[in-house]
Chains A and B, each alone.
Chain A
Amino acid sequence: MMIPACRLVDLPRGEAYRLDIDPPVSVFHTDDGEVFAIDDTCTHQDASLADGWLEGCEVECPLHASKFDLRTGAVDAPPAKRPVRTHEVHVEDGMIYVRLSLDAPNLPPCVAARLAGGPA
Chain B
Amino acid sequence: MRMVAVVGASLAGLSAARSLRGQGFDGRLVVIGDELHRPYDRPPLSKEFLAGSLAETELALEPDDEDLRAEWLLGVRAVGLDGPQRAVRLADGSEVRADGVVIATGAAARTLPGTDGLAGVHTLRTLDDARALRDELALGGRLVVIGGGFIGAEVASTAYALGLDVTVVEAAPTPLAGPLGETMGGIVSALHADHGVRLLCGVGVQGLRGVSRVEAVLLEDGRSIPADTVVVGVGARPCVEWLAGSGLELADGVRCGADGRTGLPGVVAVGDCASWYDPRAGLHRRVEHWTGARERPDAAVTALLAGGAVEPGAPRPPYFWSDQYGVKIQFAGHAAAADSVTIEEGARDDRNVLAVYRRSGHPVAVLGMNQPRLFTRWRKQLAAAA
Contact = CB atoms under 8 A, between A and B. Distances in A.
A63 B372 contact: yes
Given A63-B321, A63-B328, A78-B41, A47 B15 contact: no
B52 to A, nearest CB: 11
B294 A51 contact: no
Nearest to B316: A65
B15 A51 contact: no
Contact of B294 (A48, A50, A62, A78): A78
A79 B61 CA distance: 6
Nearest to B19: A77
A51 B321 contact: no
Interface stretch (B258-266, B272-280, B375-383): B375-383
B18 A77 contact: yes
B331 interface: no
Nearest to A14: B380
Interface in B213-231: none
A110 B55 CA distance: 11
A109 B63 contact: no
State the main secondary structure of chain A at its contact with B: loop
Nearest to A52: B376
B372 A62 contact: yes
Contact of A62 (B54, B60, B61, B376): B376
A109 B294 contact: no
B291 interface: yes
A99 interface: no
Given A79-B41, A81-B63, A64 B290 contact: yes
B62 to A, nearest CB: 8
B11 interface: yes
B61 A65 contact: no
Given A53-B379, A63-B321, A63-B328, A77 B372 contact: no
Nearest to A75: B63
Contacts of B291: 64-65
A96 B295 CA distance: 35
B58 A78 contact: no
A62 B11 contact: no
Nearest to B298: A77
A22 B288 CA distance: 37
Nearest to A65: B291
A50 B48 CA distance: 24
Interface in A24-78: 47-48, 50-53, 62-65, 77-78
B319 interface: yes
Interface-centre pick from A62, A81, A82 (highest chain B CB count, 10 A): A62
B94 interface: no
B375 A62 contact: yes
Interface string B7-45: 000010011001000000000000000000000010100
Given A52-B376, A53-B379, A64 B321 contact: yes
Given A53-B379, A62-B375, A64-B321, A78 B61 contact: yes
A46 B117 CA distance: 40
B11 A78 contact: yes
B182 to A, nearest CB: 26
A32 to B, nearest CB: 17
Nearest to B290: A64
Interface of A: 47-48, 50-53, 62-65, 77-79, 81-82, 109-110, 119
Interface of B: 11, 14-15, 18, 41, 43, 48, 53-54, 58, 60-63, 290-291, 294-295, 319, 321, 328, 330, 372-373, 375-376, 379-380
- The 3 A-B pairs at the shortest CB distance, nearest first, are namely A51-B373, A62-B372, A81-B63
12 contacts: A48-B372, A51-B373, A64-B43, A64-B291, A64-B321, A65-B319, A77-B15, A77-B18, A78-B294, A79-B41, A79-B43, A110-B48
Given A53-B380, A65-B291, A110-B53, 18 more contacts: A50-B373, A51-B372, A51-B376, A62-B372, A63-B328, A63-B372, A64-B43, A64-B291, A64-B321, A65-B295, A65-B319, A77-B15, A78-B11, A78-B14, A78-B61, A78-B62, A79-B41, A109-B58
